[in-house]
Structures are given as C-alpha cells and as structure tokens.
Structure 1
C-alpha cells in the first residue's frame, strides 16, 4: 500500500480538480447538468482513483486504478477542448490547463511503469 496523500501525482490531481471546479463556475447555468457535471466528475475521478488504487493490496490492482485515472485525465482534456469550442474558456486558459493535464498524464504513466506489472 502507498500513502496517497504524499504522492505528487495525487496532489496534482487534487489541484486539477480545484482548477476544473473554479473554471466551471463561469460556465452558463444551463451547463450545470451537462458539461459542468461531466468535467467536475472527470476531474475528481483522477485523484480519487489514484487514492483508491493505493489502498489496494497488489500493484496489479493499483495499476488498474491508475489506468482509470489516466483515462479520466484524457476525458477531462477533451472536455476542456469542448468548453473552448463552445466559447466557455479562452485558448490561453485551455493551453494552461492542458499543460497541467499532460503533466499528470506523464506522472501517472511513470507511476505505472515503476510498478513493474
């Protein structure tokens, strides 16, 4: 088992969750049950799955939960692209968020490689 609260990748996931929530506050209210809901859930899914995987008994299980977190990061990245296309965020904001998401993706991938599964 790993102490997820000490992992940089988990902390980065928490940070992207906060950023997602903050940016979604400016979206139109009609997106509350649409894009906002999807984005907030995908953002929260990243650190949540890292934490859940760290609580599992084997590296194989951890690897699987990291895969889910990685998938959620790509989902969130796509949703930010959609948000930009709808005019809810600027290209500059999209670029900045995508840099952070890409870093998380690299960290998750590196963590997976370190498990030797």
Structure 2
C-alpha cells in the first residue's frame, strides 16, 4: 500500500507540474522586425531567396507595427503584379525588372526609416 501511495504521489506531482507549466506558459508569438524584412528584400534583389521563404514571411500579417505591415502588403502586391511563380526554382529572379526596381525603392525607404529611428 505504501508503494502505491508513493507512485501515486510522484505521478500526481509530475502531472500537476506539467499542467501548471502549460497553463502558465504563454502562446509563442512570431514578431517580424524591420531587419528581417530588409534581409529578405536584399536576398530577393540578389536572387538568393526561395519562393517559399518569401511567401512565408510575406503571408504572415504584422500586427504589432502598422507601418511594417504596410511595407509587407506592398511587397506582397509587387509579387502579385510583377512576380512569376516558380521563377526562382528555375534559377531566374523572383521579380521582373520593374518589380525589382520597385522592391529596391521600397527597401531603401525602409532602410532610411530604420536609420532615422535608430538615431
């Protein structure tokens, strides 16, 4: 009987601890920052980005910063207007020349804004 109570108490402590840990831990959140967008834009301009990576970052809304979400939506619109799906898989740029020029302008604007905020 003592062994049963000992096993029961150990299991109760383990399950209770796991339940408390799960209840107290928060939901993980992914927060896109400007440096991640700049890095992705640089990779897209250098033809080093995978379309899956682009779609993953551009398809995730940025709720903590309206300006960054606007940049993300503009870049997503550029892909819709000037992108050709599966171009990167064939070794071609993700965007056509017009799209790359607009993405470069968007990237430069975001970089200047970041530089002003860091001052």
Fold equivalence (TM over 0.5): no
Higher relative contact order (CA 8 A, sep 6+): 1
Q: What TM-score results when the alignment is normalised by the length of structure 1?
A: 0.32
- Work out which of the two has the higher radius of gyration on C-alpha atoms and give 1 or 2: 2
Q: What TM-score results when the alignment is normalised by the length of structure 2?
A: 0.32
Question: Which structure is higher in helix share?
Answer: 1
